[in-house]
Structure 1
Amino acid sequence: MIRNLMAIATALLLSTQAQAQPEPKGDYAEVNGMNMYYEVSGTGDPLVVLHGAYMNIPTMGEIIPKLAETHQVYAIEFQGHGRTNDIERPVTYPNLADDVAAFMDAVALEKADVFGYSMGAAAALQLAIRHPEKVDQLVLASVSYDMSGSQPEFLEMIPTMTPEMFVGPPMEDAWKQYAPNPDGFRPFVERMIALEHEPLAWEDDVAKLKTPMLIIAGDSDMVTLEHIVSMFRLVGGGVAGDMGKPLATSRLAILPATSHTAVIDQVALLHLLIEPFLNGETPKGMFEQ
């Protein structure tokens, strides 16, 4: 997982709208003092989609309409992102997770699969930790459970972050396109920088999870491969197959030649991985009937 700064590049590069499909239904829900914007598209089992930092629903690109071909997708915009207003409250992963849980209550969604990218993946992980009854299956793209799992270059960059790195064109202009309060970018950025300093130390909580998860990362992501494998092992993965025991319910996928910001734009490959997982389809080995 890289949060904030790396996701900025994604937000800028993926600014085009998704390809044409039946128009999603946009609406607002009262969530913890916010008017949270969300869109519903498709039919089928419910799937909540959570975007990365500084992103919104449009900048998630074509993966949402692709998933909506077989699922009823609930795509939300987090505090201060897109059309959801910012409030005087820190942006933290527990807060974001509680917002998702409150949103699900507001739209009468008792339980759902959840797909999160980057910041959204960390929020999804916290949702499973804090509100396990609301999560059926998790798809986590570019996530970590401990800051020590970040690439050294990213860890070195965090202390250098200042609002001046973000305020002004083109980031501020892009944010103002949807923001309910166009004058609120600087305080929003300050909250997002503070999020980068939030300590992550969730190993014990992750190890207790029973939620099946698909963990996705690029081979050149901002999370080290060692950390991704460690997380997979925490949730029961990485054991030998073909030995008479069932495989773990969780799965791991590493995308080749893929940086952090390139993960979300590989729609065909993501869909090829996500759809069988959500459907409970498992490749059969030669010793299985």
Structure 2
Amino acid sequence: MSYADVNGLSLWYEVHGSGRPLVLLHGGFGAAEMFAPVLPALAERRRVVAVDLQGHGRTADIDRPLRYESMADDVAALIRHLDLGEVDLMGYSLGGGVALRLAIQHSALVRRLVVVSAPCRRQGWYPEVLAAMAAHDEQVAERMRGTPPHELYARIAPHPEDWPALWAKSGDLLRRDYDWSAEVAALAAPVLLVFADADSVSTAHAAEFFGLLGGGRRDAGWDGTGRPASRLAVLPGLTHYDIVRSAALPAAVLPFLTTQVREPA
């Protein structure tokens, strides 16, 4: 467990296991602890580097808005700081957006990308989810006191009093429109998309996202030669909120990371 000074930020990270690096990026209002239920399975096969993003967990906030793009630059700077070379990258929810931007902005650093429960455009979230995100502010932060995310933040954050500010800055981020479809279609690295079958991201968008990566366009053929380099996993019986705790997640992710896939032409 340590800190790296990158882009004016003291970015916290922890390392588990050995082997090819796998960088983990948590969801909103969380920290590396979000991956605790699946970390042992991942660390058995990989050198796992779990990061606390700007203003989250043990990484104190700085005078800068929360943006997917700048947080992606932070993680890219950490990868270079640790001299990890080309990494595998997995992000969940907020971290999925950051991971996707990192693969777009710093493609040379990413060997394979796993995006868990995150869309490539804002309208991929269900309308009721978008409405809830748009309402994030200091008042909602007060109502969230005493919940597990707040209890974790109060226990590990360098400045626990910043809880309301985190919600205000997160609301500002989540109200901003984005559509990265064209950049997704240009990605060279193989991508695994993982969604729950009762996710906060619509199943229609999951299929659309996969289509941008070359998936769902044709039959793979009897020998599989028509299979795209990227993959789609829809995990049954799960939601956006429990997918990151399920043993089904590493069961889907590890074969993608460890099995040879056809690289895109």
TM-score above 0.5: yes
Aligned twin of 1:241: 220
Aligned twin of 1:72: 47
Q: How does 1:172-251 map to 2 (within 5 A)?
A: 172-238=150-216, 239-242=218-221, 245-251=225-231
Report the AA paired with residue 129 of structure 1: I
Aligned twin of 2:232: 252
Paired with 1:34 and 1:112, the residues of 2 have a C-alpha distance of 21
Deviation of 1:169 (Å): 2.2
SS of equivalent to 1:67: helix
Report the AA paired with residue 119 of structure 1: L
Q: Deviations over 1:17-60 (max 9, x none)?
A: xxxxxxxxx11111111111111110111110111111111232
Q: What is the aligned-residue identity percentage?
A: 35
Q: How does 1:139-150 map to 2 (within 5 A)?
A: 139-150=114-125
Deviation of 1:162 (Å): 2.7
Does the aligned pair in 2 maintain the 1:210–1:235 contact within 8 Å?
A: no
Does the aligned pair in 2 maintain the 1:140–1:216 contact within 8 Å?
A: yes
Deviation of 1:159 (Å): 3.4
Q: Give the TM-score, by structure 1 length.
A: 0.85
Q: Deviations over 1:170-220 (max 9, x none)?
A: 154431211112222222221111111121211111111111011000111
Q: Which runs of 5+ in 1 are unaligned?
A: 1-25, 283-289
Instruction: Give the direction of change, closer, same or farther, for the CA distance of 1:115–1:159 in structure 2 (3 Å limit).
Output: closer
Report the AA paired with residue 263 of structure 1: I
Tell me, yes or no, if structure 1 residue 137 matches structure 2 residue 112.
yes
Paired with 1:58 and 1:52, the residues of 2 have a C-alpha distance of 10
Q: Which runs of 5+ in 2 are unaligned?
A: none
Does the aligned pair in 2 maintain the 1:97–1:124 contact within 8 Å?
A: yes
Does the aligned pair in 2 maintain the 1:55–1:82 contact within 8 Å?
A: yes
Does the aligned pair in 2 maintain the 1:36–1:76 contact within 8 Å?
A: yes
Q: How does 1:17-166 map to 2 (within 5 A)?
A: 26-166=1-141
Paired with 2:113 and 2:9, the residues of 1 have a C-alpha distance of 25
Aligned twin of 1:263: 243
Paired with 1:130 and 1:191, the residues of 2 have a C-alpha distance of 22
Q: Give the TM-score, by structure 2 length.
A: 0.92
Q: Deviations over 1:49-101 (max 9, x none)?
A: 11111111123222122200010011110011111111010111001111110
Report the AA paired with residue 177 of structure 2: P
Paired with 1:107 and 1:232, the residues of 2 have a C-alpha distance of 32
Does the aligned pair in 1 maintain the 2:129–2:200 contact within 8 Å?
A: yes
- How many pairs align? 256
Instruction: Give the direction of change, closer, same or farther, for the CA distance of 1:160–1:80 in structure 2 (3 Å limit).
Output: closer
Deviation of 1:281 (Å): 4.9
SS of equivalent to 1:65: helix
Report the AA paired with residue 220 of structure 2: G
Deviation of 1:280 (Å): 2.0
Report the AA paired with residue 197 of structure 2: D
SS of equivalent to 2:134: helix
Deviation of 1:246 (Å): 3.5
